[in-house]
Structure 1
Amino acid sequence: MLTYGYWNNKGGTGKTSLCFQSVCFYAHANPDKRILVVDVCPQANLSELLLGGLDNGGSDKLLGIQGLVPRATIGGYFQQRLPAPFTMPSAVRFDDYITTPATINADIPTNVDLICGDPLLELQSNAISTLANTNIPGTNAWLAVIDWLKDLLELSSNRYDVAFIDCNPSFSIYTQIALSVVDRLVLPVMADDSSRRAIQNAFSLVYGLKLPSEIYSQYAFATRLRDANRSLPKVHLIAKNRITQYITDASAYAAVLRSIDADVDGLLRSNPEMFTFSDLEDGFVSIRDFQTTGVVAFAKGIPLYALKPGKRQVMGRRVVIDAEYKANMVHAMNGLVAML
């Protein structure tokens, strides 16, 4: 199973919205493939979108799933692992945590399954971190905990072809658990200086580059995984998200975007093993601002390709979806998915 992770340790880059559209577009274009979505974010926005969005009761449906016994979410699975952190409990069943969004939201492709997100992750974080740092002779406690998601996916009996993981904009322990099973990273960035710094921080956190001191190196995510002979995720795409609606990237942001290109180009030359691409142009994609079209799509939990242009009601207000604008959005997402 090939696994894509959508992550940036900076919030507000459009990570979840891009992941939602990527999942739907990919599943729609590949109906013969089975797709698994794992929402490893305590906000669980991706789960709400797949279950219908704000305007179609996605939040209420998610609350119902979180109320099941066992709790059918990633937090529910972690809850079962807390008393048995170093060995997989025999009582854990993969299907207990699976929701098929199409049975709730008819606009989602039927070949998509979901492990819902859960605010419990924030409450569990300190306990999980403590367990990971337990000193047990003969046991790599950190690796055993980092493998929690890997352990669960191994119970899926290889029924899926591709997985998409929406990661929290942090580098907390549950984000590391998610990233440890990712094969290919998709990094959304905005055209601003903070996104440029976030890209630099991302490479430091995941790959241990430019750490301020050797003291940190022995505890770094990359060091610990490499010491266990585990592979690190490779950067597959950097999505310049929310670019304005012009033919090329908006000129006001061009200098920042070029600086991001230059930073990545330098890393591509010095650390080619961190990337799935060798040419800079193969690793970047520009996504125009979804604007009103995106607001409607996310409010109703509808993929852009299924969104009908014209007048629509959203949360009691009437808005207009422009057909040409929508076509531009669909074209942009088709371009991104073609690179997966």
Structure 2
Amino acid sequence: MAIYAVWNNKGGVGKSYLTFQIASEYARQHPDKRILVVDVCPQANASSMILGGIEDGEVALAEIHQGNPRRTIAGYIDDRILSPYLNPNTGASFVTQAQTYNAQVPPNLYLVVGDEQLELQASRVLAATNPGPQDAWRIVHTWLSDMINDVAVSWNDPDITVFIDCNPSFSIYTELAMSAADRMLIPFSADGSSKRAVRAVLTLVYGIARQAGQQQSEFFRNVTRYRMALPEIYMYIGNRLTQMNQSSATAFKTVVNEIGDEIYAVWQANANHFCIHPTGNATPTSKRTFKAMFQYEVNDANSASVVSGACGIPISSMHSGSSRVLGKRVTVNQSQLDKQVPNIVSLVAAIE
């Protein structure tokens, strides 16, 4: 089993869009495997796209949210709040096969649906970490791991692949995701604020200080205290990079390289925070070979990206032509698909 957390401590980098595209494409490339997306972002944008997009997906979300029992991540969290220190083994009952709502996604793609009620539950999740048993913090931080293991046991399949779409802030749900994941995919956009956000990821999760005396996060201190494993960095992904003209492309490339240099410096000092890809390639020995293994780029497909997310159609399955989005006709050109589809296909081919 491989569990990937998709996270950056910044909104607007296309985290949920990438989760939708990566999980859908991974399911397409691996038709004999079951793929599970766990949506712990209260906005549930990845769930909306997977279930059919801005219209059909929202209808599906409303139907699932109104169900009794509530077959969402918030429904599972309710179960855990009632049984914070003993696994109720109910995780599999909160899984939805995505194709039952959206015929555009592969049949082997499954989803634990996101839910805005996570925001209302957050204080009760935090309350469960203290007081309680001596290791209450550790037990609560295994809730997502318990859920994923419940699903694997129910399916009698230890070889599932899981993608967790995280809350952009470093919330309690992000901490649970970091505790459950084996590997980390870090999306970023090519701007200065994204560079600062990548630095925050390295500090909050891995305790890598940028200034002398900088305080470490409570999460990192407790992970160290309980000797828990951290996810290893598997990729950092420049998302929606522009190809509009040479000057803008050069400026974007400069920021991408600066972020790459930042992460390469972490590799040089703490290579144990990274997961060497199981592709037969040797362990990187230079900045060039490091970036070849860990740095990926996804070009902006403009209208094609909008239609893909709005209609819940994985971009590698899209065709050029006219589509209706919110009552308006939007034209997708083949040139737009050619910008992004090869990026998504090659990126996913590098994921174990």
Q: TM-score range by the shorter chain?
A: over 0.9
Give the aligned partner of residue 210 of structure 1: 209
Q: Does 1:322 align with 2:333?
A: yes
Q: For 1:65-116, what per-residue CA distance to the aligned partner results, in whole angstroms no more than 9, with x for missing partners?
A: 1122221011001011112211123xx5233201001111111100111100
Within a 5 Å distance, the mapping from 1:123-272 to structure 2 comes to: 123-134=120-131, 136=132, 138-156=133-151, 157=153, 158-159=156-157, 160-210=159-209, 216-217=215-216, 220-245=218-243, 250-272=249-271
State the shift of 1:216 in Å.
Answer: 4.5
State the shift of 1:247 in Å.
Answer: 9.8
Tell me the TM-score normalized by structure 2.
0.90
Amino acid at match of 1:95: A
CA distance in 2, matches of 1:5, 1:335: 19
- Structure 1 range deviating more: 238-247 or 208-217: 208-217
Q: For 1:113-145, what per-residue CA distance to the aligned partner results, in whole angstroms no more than 9, with x for missing partners?
A: 1100011111111111122132x3x53111111
State the shift of 1:215 in Å.
Answer: 9.2
State the shift of 1:35 in Å.
Answer: 0.7
CA distance in 2, matches of 1:140, 1:292: 50
Residues 215, 241 of structure 1: alpha-carbon distance in 2 compared, 3 angstrom cutoff:
closer
**Aligned residues between the structures:** 334
Amino acid at match of 1:80: D
State the shift of 1:211 in Å.
Answer: 7.2
Runs of 5+ in structure 2 lacking a partner?
A: 277-283, 285-289
Tell me the secondary structure at the aligned position of residue 194 of structure 2. Answer: helix
Give the aligned partner of residue 292 of structure 2: 281
- Structure 1 range deviating more: 80-89 or 41-50: 80-89
CA distance in 2, matches of 1:216, 1:304: 42
Amino acid at match of 2:143: W
Tell me the secondary structure at the aligned position of residue 76 of structure 1. Answer: helix
> Percent identity, aligned pairs only?
37
CA distance in 1, matches of 2:292, 2:342: 18
Tell me the secondary structure at the aligned position of residue 250 of structure 1. Answer: helix
**C-alpha root-mean-square deviation of aligned residues, in Å?**
1.9
CA distance in 2, matches of 1:184, 1:125: 24
Contact (CA 8 Å) 1:70, 1:96: kept in 2 or not? no
CA distance in 2, matches of 1:215, 1:123: 31
Runs of 5+ in structure 1 lacking a partner?
A: none
Contact (CA 8 Å) 1:207, 1:221: kept in 2 or not? no
Tell me the secondary structure at the aligned position of residue 180 of structure 1. Answer: helix
Tell me the secondary structure at the aligned position of residue 335 of structure 1. Answer: helix
Residues 214, 85 of structure 1: alpha-carbon distance in 2 compared, 3 angstrom cutoff:
farther
Contact (CA 8 Å) 2:242, 2:252: kept in 1 or not? no
